[in-house]
């Protein structure tokens, strides 16, 4: 496993705050092909590699930089890219950026990803608001963490995805003419795509879409007391449901094609979010 040394979320947060002198309460982590650079005004940039302990992805479609700026009058921080378990990173690496956001003062986090559809009504290019999830990665990011004086590792996940934010997002999307579905996201470890038999199994479990990220970040966000809104861009049909081969390049291409509508939607959501 790749694991950074001499790591401190507090130190990383202090470095970011000292460089940009802003304290955003809204954070966004982007998925493959999504960077949302147009979401914020006069955005300042910090490459991940400048921040001690911050992991960098080598996967196409992840820019590995922090952006901070204004959106609708609110300070917003965007992490353009994430690392993945399939890259060889540990759960500590994967969730370290979430801990940094918490230390900065983020109270509301928007987690986005590219996902494969397991339902015929979810087409490539569609958006799915995540209303629940199934963790099939085989590991939990809270494993080994001690109980904290202000929080317990036994986190209640019955409302892991904030219902008020989900309902408001669906309402806003309808008003803006952006079609939004609502569904359950499953996460697997990757990096190989699932077999048709595996997809049938996951569908039977109740999932609507599948990805290789996001859910560990959701769990850590809830442990740290943040409200979570998850948004998937459906980039392909999962194995056995489509006619074309599954390729990461196509995933990135489809995600990028919906970036403008995603920015419109997120801009409206941010104006609603409590700070």
Which residues are annotated as catalytic? 32, 62, 84, 86-87, 114, 212-213, 236, 248
177: left (phi over 0), alpha (psi -120 to 50) or beta: left
Contacts of 259 (CB under 8 A, 6+ apart): 33, 34, 35, 36, 38
Token pair 């479609």 in the structure block, residue: 61
Tokens of 153: 């590792």
Q: What is the distance, to the nearest Å, from the Cα of residue 233 to the centroid of all Cα atoms in its chain?
A: 11
Question: What's the longest Cα–Cα distance across the chain?
Answer: 52
First to last CA, the chain: 37
- How many whole angstroms separate alpha carbon 138 and alpha carbon 85? 11
- How many whole angstroms separate alpha carbon 166 and alpha carbon 182? 9
| Exposed/middle/buried for residue 54 (C-beta within 10 Å: 0-12, 13-18, 19+) | buried
| Exposed/middle/buried for residue 8 (C-beta within 10 Å: 0-12, 13-18, 19+) | middle
3-class secondary structure, 126: coil
* Alpha-helix residue ranges (DSSP H) falling in the chain: 9-20, 91-104, 163-176, 196-205, 215-223, 248-257, 259-272
């Amino acid at each position: 496993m790749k694991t950074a040394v001499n790591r401190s979320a507090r130190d990383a947060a202090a470095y970011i705050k000292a460089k940009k002198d802003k304290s955003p309460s809204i954070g966004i982590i982007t998925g493959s092909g999504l960077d949302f650079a147009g979401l914020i005004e006069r955005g300042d940039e910090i490459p991940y590699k400048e921040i001690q302990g911050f992991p960098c992805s080598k996967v196409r479609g992840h820019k590995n930089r922090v952006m901070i700026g204004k959106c609708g009058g609110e300070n917003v921080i965007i992490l353009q890219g994430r690392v993945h378990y399939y890259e060889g990173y540990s759960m500590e690496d994967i969730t370290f950026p979430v801990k940094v956001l918490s230390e900065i003062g983020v109270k509301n986090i928007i987690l986005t990803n590219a996902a494969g559809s397991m339902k015929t009504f979810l087409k490539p290019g569609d958006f799915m608001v995540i209303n629940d999830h199934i963790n099939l990665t085989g590991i939990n990011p809270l494993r080994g963490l001690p109980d904290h004086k202000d929080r317990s590792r036994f986190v209640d996940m019955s409302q892991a995805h904030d219902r008020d934010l989900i309902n408001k997002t669906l309402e806003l999307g309808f008003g803006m003419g952006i079609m939004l579905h609502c569904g359950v996201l499953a996460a697997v470890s990757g990096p190989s795509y699932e077999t048709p038999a595996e997809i049938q199994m996951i569908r039977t479990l109740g999932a609507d879409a599948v990805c290789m990220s996001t859910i560990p970040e959701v769990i850590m966000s809830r442990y740290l007391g943040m409200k979570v809104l998850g948004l998937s861009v459906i980039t392909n049909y999962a194995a056995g449901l489509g006619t074309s081969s599954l390729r990461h390049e196509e995933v990135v291409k489809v995600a990028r094609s919906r970036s403008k509508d995603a920015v419109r939607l997120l801009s409206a959501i941010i104006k609603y979010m409590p700070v």
